[in-house]
Amino acid sequence: MARRKKDSLADGLFRILMAAPWWGGPLLALAAFLFFRLAMPLILGVGVGDGHDPLAMPRQVFTGFSIMVAPWVAMLALFCWGVTEIKKFANRKLLDKQSGLASIGELSWQEFEQLVGEAYRRQEYSVEHTGSNGGDGGIDLRLRHGGKTTLVQCKHWKTWKVGVKEVRELRGVMASEAAQHGILVTYGSFTDDAIDFARKNPITLVAGPELEQMIRSVQQTNPKADRPNGDNRLAMRSQEMSEQPESPQELSAQSTVSTCPACGSEMVERTARRGQYSGQPFWGCCHYPECRGKRKL
């Protein structure tokens, strides 16, 4: 990927709104309006001082300008919010229409990054896209959850394996940004050297099959996926992920299933305790709540 130029103010605003919840845009617009309409006049201190104050006239001019632009700044923030919400909706549709590795392979690298970002967003991560404008300084996504930062690099390679060089580069970026965890996602697979290096570092490798599992586990609609017993076996939604983990004694007594689609760790059988799927079993990552990977049982 080419290197990205320094973000403009508009680019920074779009990135903030993409990572924010839906109500972040209206709240930002209200804050901008109040700042320019009320706070700026107070800061400029119009009316303070005697009649010989040489700054009285400039203060009045700037105050009038601030009051005038307040509604326009608020409308600009709402416009940016509307654009980002449309983009978020497109990302949700992009994820839900995937039917397997074949459809994922048809995506462009930009769409691939958006797909991976949406998959982690549905696992209750705050997702910041850093590479969607063409370059990323070594990472494509920055995930935040529980005060921890995870850096994600996406490799939409179809014809060769991702080698240890790319995994080492990710480890270097993690060290420079003091990130606690790294994830390397690819449509294809990894070399043995890459797998060995990742095991010795806090890096998770997500190859094509694991990526497909992760996508299926968070899809809200997937007409081509197997659904025994109708809607009763849908992949668990975010409502189930709000539950508290079982005690260590309960975990040790439960059976395990292959690997977590998000981090590659073992999964354990859990039972949803709240929401519309209350009482139904599902597979959850053994590292919950640090990892929120899940699969239908």
Q: Which domains does the chain have, with CATH numbers?
A: 9-96 (no CATH), 103-218 (3.40.1350.10), 233-296 (no CATH)
H helix count then E strand count, the chain: 11, 9
pLDDT for 183 beyond 50 = yes
55-90 burial code (b ≥16 CB/10 A, e <16): ebeebeebbeebeebbeebbeebbebbeebeebbee
Label residue 151 by pLDDT band (50, 70, 90): very high
Greater confidence, 209 or 4?
209
pLDDT for 110 beyond 60 = yes
Q: Tell which residue, 216, 154, 222, has the closest CA to residue 188.
A: 154
Mean of pLDDT values over 163-171: 93
DSSP 69-107: HHHHHHHHHHHHHHHHHHHHHHHHHHHHT--SHHHHHTS
pLDDT for 53 beyond 60 = yes
Label residue 288 by pLDDT band (50, 70, 90): confident
Q: What is the pLDDT of residue 11?
A: 66
Q: What is the pLDDT of residue 23?
A: 86
Percentage of residues in the chain having pLDDT higher than 70:
73
pLDDT for 254 beyond 50 = no
The C-alpha atoms of residue 174 and residue 164 are separated, in whole angstroms, by: 15
Mean of pLDDT values over 163-173: 93
User: Would you tell me how many other CB atoms lie within 10 Å of the CB of residue 282?
Assistant: 20
Label residue 230 by pLDDT band (50, 70, 90): very low
pLDDT for 85 beyond 90 = no
Least reliable range by pLDDT among 212-226, 244-258, 281-295: 244-258
Q: What is the pLDDT of residue 207?
A: 92
In this structure, the strands spanning 267-271 and 148-155 are unpaired
The C-alpha atoms of residue 155 and residue 152 are separated, in whole angstroms, by: 10
Q: Tell which residue, 111, 123, 112, has the closest CA to residue 150.
A: 123
Label residue 51 by pLDDT band (50, 70, 90): low
pLDDT for 280 beyond 60 = yes
Q: What is the pLDDT of residue 14?
A: 72
Least reliable range by pLDDT among 100-104, 217-221, 243-247: 243-247
The C-alpha atoms of residue 55 and residue 123 are separated, in whole angstroms, by: 54
